[in-house]
Amino acid sequence: MRVPLMMMLGLGPTVARLKLRRCEAVGATPTVWGRVWIHGEGEIQVGDRVVFDARMAPIELHAQRGGRIVIEDDVTIEGGSSIEAQSCVTLGARSRLGMWCKLMDNMYHPVRGNRHERPQSVPLVVEEGVTVGSRSILLPGAHLQKGASVASGTVISRRIPPGVTVGGSPARVLRREVTR
């Protein structure tokens, strides 16, 4: 595996901080591999020990005016995933986002009526310990509760109860957590 030069020199967190300079708050020892494209006028908060692995494809963090992206501790985000916030997107502690994920809290165009006005946005919450597979899409109103996991390529726009694995399109429950 290719290890970035700056990390070999022990400058990883410093370079990562430089790459995350557009964020409002960055926690301890962030890791950024590759390019993170941060734009928009909203506020982005990054917790401790967050990993952005963008070696294969860049990661997009887009917080529009008044929007907020909160990434809590120990989150791993893989390349190609993009988070767009109009109101609020929260990623809980120890959650993982696979490659090419899309998290958006606004549909941007209404299904009916004038396609060029913007519908209301609904906050998107991913609670702690959630695994989101690659190429899955979280639409506004998605609420993944603690320990849920999402198979790759799934589209979700509602609440997923804790400890449940969902997959397929349209999404359905693949497995529930066995209570002990």
Partner 1 sequence: MKPALPSRDETLQMARAGLQMVRTEVFPRAERVVAVARARWLFRGFRMGRDVAAYGPVAARNDGHAELGDKLTFLGGMLPTSVVCYEHARLLVGSETQFNYGVSVEAWESVQIGDRCMFASYVRVSDRDGQRIAPIIIEDDVWVAHGAILLPGVRIGARSVVSAGSIVSQDVPPDSLAMGNPARSMSLDLVARDATGT
Q: Judged by CB under 8 A, does residue 86 bind partner 1?
A: no
Based on CB atoms, which residue is closest to partner 1, 10 or 170?
Answer: 170
Q: Least Å distance between CB 5 and partner 1? A: 24
Residue type, 118: R
Inter-residue contact 176 to 163 (CB < 8 Å) = yes
Q: Judged by CB under 8 A, does residue 159 bind partner 1?
A: no
Task: Give dist(CA 60, CA 37) in Å, integer.
Answer: 5
Instruction: Say how many CA atoms lie within 13 Å of 131 toward its Cβ.
Output: 9
Q: Which of 7, 51, 155, 164 binds partner 1 (CB under 8 A)?
A: 155
Site for partner 1 in 16-45 (CB under 8 A): 37
Q: Of 7-15, 20-28, 91-99, 131-139, which segment contacts partner 1 by CB under 8 A?
A: 131-139
Which residue in the block uniquely carries the two structure tokens 């995933």? 81
Based on CB atoms, which residue is closest to partner 1, 16 or 142?
Answer: 142
Q: Least Å distance between CB 176 and partner 1? A: 22
Task: Give dist(CA 97, CA 102) in Å, integer.
Answer: 9
86 Cα distance to chain centroid: 14
Q: Least Å distance between CB 155 and partner 1? A: 4
Outline where the chain has alpha helix (H). Answer: 5-8, 12-19
User: Please, which residues have CB within 8 angstroms of residue 44's CB and are 6 or more apart in sequence?
Assistant: 22, 23, 24, 38, 61, 63, 68, 69, 71
Based on CB atoms, which residue is closest to partner 1, 47 or 125?
Answer: 125
Q: Judged by CB under 8 A, does residue 115 bind partner 1?
A: yes
For binding to partner 1 (CB under 8 A), which residues are involved?
Answer: 37, 57-58, 60, 80, 82, 100, 102, 104, 107, 109-112, 115, 119-122, 135-137, 139-142, 153-155, 157-158, 168-170
